[in-house]
Amino acid sequence: MNLLALDIGSSSVKAAAMRGEKVAGNVVRAEFATSYAEGRAEVDPAAILRAITQSIRQLGPAAKKVDLIAATVMAPSWLAMNARGKALTPVVTHQDRRSVEIARQIELRVGKARHLKLAGNRPFPGGISSTTAAWFVREQPQVMKRAATIGHFNTFLLHQLTGRRLTDPSNASFTGFYRTTTLGGWGEELCEAAGVRVDQLPDIFEANQIAGTLSPQSASKFGLLAGTPVLMGCMDTSAAMFAIGAKPGHLLNVCGSTDVLTVCTTTPHPHEKLLTRALGVGKKWMSVSTLAAAGSTLTWAHRTLFAELSEEKFYATLRKLPPVEGALRFDPYLAGERTSIEQKQASFTGLTLSTTREQMLAAVVDGLARASAARLPLLKQVSRLSKSVTLSGGVAGELSHILHRDWGSGWQFHTRDELTARGLARLAMSAT
């Protein structure tokens, strides 16, 4: 089977033509920008669509020789749409933290234990998108009255491609409206707490189902062939887990702008400091712990402390940092905390007049390493962990040395590339 695989991440779209599970030719990339201001993290939906078009164009004729189209998406990536599928809001990403007060109100209305039992997660600001939806209900009620559909970017994209409004269980889990622990569909109680209607939510298809076929209008817009089947698809980390077999207990660590550490389970284990989501096919779940800013923390350090250095020289500096001494410490919460309602902020402590920028960078590295290792005891509470860890992500090679520094001995790390595309290929081969 020939597949067009699209990976829509936090900062770019990657596209690949697949033959089976093998990449045919080059993986191409087109970037888009995120706007950050006052706790907000937003992307123009049109900018993502342009990046999709650009990446498909870079593939050339191979993009029109596929049997199936499939996409993975970052999530949450919330937006509201009108009845024609036109975006009414920006895409609000998982790094958005504007809805802290709203999250408190939702949890008060439902009850902490009950929300966790039903949705599998607490209503984390931005990280569970019901909080974003409720913020727009309060702050932009006229927009929400016009919203025929609310969901993540996968729902918006599928509407653009096929005219249908759909989502899969993995994305549904991070809306905060889905009964994740039972795979029981949308929960009216959860919707009512956020002020949205169940009829504003998309239909739920499993990730390996055919969502529809490419419309002539969309085919012309994206440079593809009308009538090509489109797979439902799923969240990016779910696709990566499918690529490695979705074995219970196996750890997957996707190191990129954010750092996602997840374990696959056959039983959901909601935990107030972890994210719980359906895998996307069948009765499997994932327990997830995320550093909201990992690779993006290093990007910030480069831009802020070492702006005159090239990327190559900056990473060379990383490799020869002095040890952290004294009370110098960095708390790595530049994008807040994904699994907390009350948001932490990044900070340096222990600075003196003699502190150098190299020592500050060493503290940044130390903070990331500590935060990464602190996730292991949490995941051990919900699953027995294999010592075999699959690594993937845009900066896995460099960043993994930092993130796994404090894990201790006995771990076996295996780096694999293009896991999201390979996972989509597996889903495509089991398409129904």
Identify the structural domains of the chain with CATH numbers, from first to last.
Answer: 2-238 (3.30.420.40), 245-415 (3.30.420.40)
pLDDT digits (tens, 9 = 90+) for 264-296: 999 999 999 999 999 999 999 999 999 988 988
With a threshold of 0.95, does the pTM exceed it?
no
What phi and psi, each to the nearest 5 degrees, are found at residue 201? -95, 145
pLDDT of residue 257: 81
DSSP assignment of 96-158: --TTHHHHHHHHHHH-HHHHHHHHSS---BTTBTHHHHHHHHHH-HHHHHH-SEEEEHHHHHH
HSE on the CB side for 307, CA within 13 Å? Answer: 2
Q: Do residues 40 and 98 touch, judged by C-beta distance below 8 A?
A: yes
Q: What digits encode the pLDDT tens for the residues 95-126?
A: 899 999 999 999 999 999 999 999 999 999 99
323/318 Cα distance (integer angstroms): 11
Structure tokens at 365: 């590295």
What is the reported pLDDT for 397? 61
pLDDT at 52 over 70: yes
Residue the block writes with tokens 């027995």? 384
| Structure-block tokens of residue 142 | 């006229």
Closest alpha carbon to 123 in 289, 428, 300, 339: 339
For range 207-217, the mean pLDDT: 96
